[in-house]
Amino acid sequence: MKVTRAALPFLPFCERLLPSRPAGLSLALLKATVLEIAILAGHLLLYPSGITQERRAPVPALPADGAAQLPTEAKPPVLLLHGFIDNRSVFVLLRRSLAQHGRQQIETLNYSPLTRDIRAAAELLGRRIEELCERTGAGQIDVVGHSLGGLIARYYVQRLGGDARVRTLVTLGTPHSGTRVMPVADAHPIVRQMRPGSPVLEELTLPAPDCRTHFVGFWSDLDHVMDPPETACIDHPDLTAQNVRVTGIGHLALPVHPAVANGIRQVLDTARPGEPSTEHTAGLTVA
């Protein structure tokens, strides 16, 4: 869809959501936009419930009677990391889906909307992961990050030695190559760090030899927060990465749509470091 320049900096974003010419408004885009509005309304209702940090979940105790149990394959804990100006309430549905399919240790991390530096947020994430590993006895965990959360987690893995702790990193609509959407938001320093060519993103292009984490990037062709949408693909010669194209939904739907949740579960249950990467044309149609 072609978007012409406008005098006001927010108009290109609005035109991408609601094109002025009816002929340009496809049925798929219309459905995705309606779904985005519905999800936003629901999330605004849930947002107050996720403002505070969640209580740390105790590690499940062994049976007191010492009864024998059938052997089960231990699954690593999962840490969920929200996006910009958001909180853990965005993961209510995804968390429920993971729990229903055998994940016993699922936790979230809230970082402040006043956070001004991806590097500082990555250090906070690292401390939380170390605490989680110590409390659960796990050597590694899986991380799912939405939007900015995925970028924070990637910085931790690549630049702060987090590949020793993160087995699989799943990113949902994360601006790995930077997004150009809404230039008016550049007043916030962390938004400037998400722009193409920012010093933080340049750091992520540096060599990352022997990185042990397996990366999976879910990206949507109707994600209007990612400009261009393909910026949510992971492209680095040293990383074991798989990119999954999602068709038919927008940015806000990525962490809540059941089809995406199913894809995340499959990734966490099967992806292992060292697997060959797949092209970003591999797809998941949810509409």
- Tens of pLDDT, residue by residue over 170-214, are 999 999 999 999 888 899 999 999 999 999 999 999 999 999 999
Query: Tell me, what's the pLDDT at 119?
Result: 97
Q: Name residues whose C-beta falls within 8 Å of residue 198's C-beta, 6 or more positions apart in sequence.
A: 178, 192
Q: What percentage of the chain reaches a pLDDT higher than 90?
A: 67
Q: Does the pLDDT value for residue 69 go beyond 90?
A: no
Residue 283, classed as helix, strand or coil, is strand
Per the listing, tokens 């062994």 go with: 62
Q: Name residues whose C-beta falls within 8 Å of residue 90's C-beta, 6 or more positions apart in sequence.
A: 43, 46, 50, 82, 83, 146, 255, 256
Within 13 A of 252's CA, how many CA atoms are on the CB side? 18
What is residue 142's DSSP assignment?
E
- When pLDDT is cut at 50, 70 and 90, the band that residue 282 belongs to is low
Residue among 247, 255, 252 at smallest CA distance from 283: 247
- Which residues make beta-bridge pairs with 106? 78
Q: Name residues whose C-beta falls within 8 Å of residue 112's C-beta, 6 or more positions apart in sequence.
A: none
What angle is formed at CA 223 by the lines to CA 206 and CA 3, rounded to 5 degrees?
100
Per the listing, tokens 């933080």 go with: 200
Query: Tell me, what's the pLDDT at 141?
Result: 97
Higher pLDDT, 285 or 274: 285
Residue 216, classed as helix, strand or coil, is strand
**For the chain, what is the mean pLDDT?**
84
- When pLDDT is cut at 50, 70 and 90, the band that residue 15 belongs to is very low
Cα-to-chain-centroid distance, residue 222: 16
CB 143 within 8 A of CB 110: no
Query: Tell me, what's the pLDDT at 23?
Result: 42
Query: Tell me, what's the pLDDT at 250?
Result: 96
- When pLDDT is cut at 50, 70 and 90, the band that residue 53 belongs to is confident
- Return the domain boundaries, the chain: 24-49+77-285
Q: Does the pLDDT value for residue 279 go beyond 90?
A: no
Per the listing, tokens 């797949």 go with: 278
How does pLDDT run across 240-278, given as a tens digit for each residue? 999 999 999 999 999 999 999 999 999 999 855 444 444
CB 187 within 8 A of CB 179: no
Does CATH place domain 24-49+77-285 in 3.40.50.1820?
A: yes
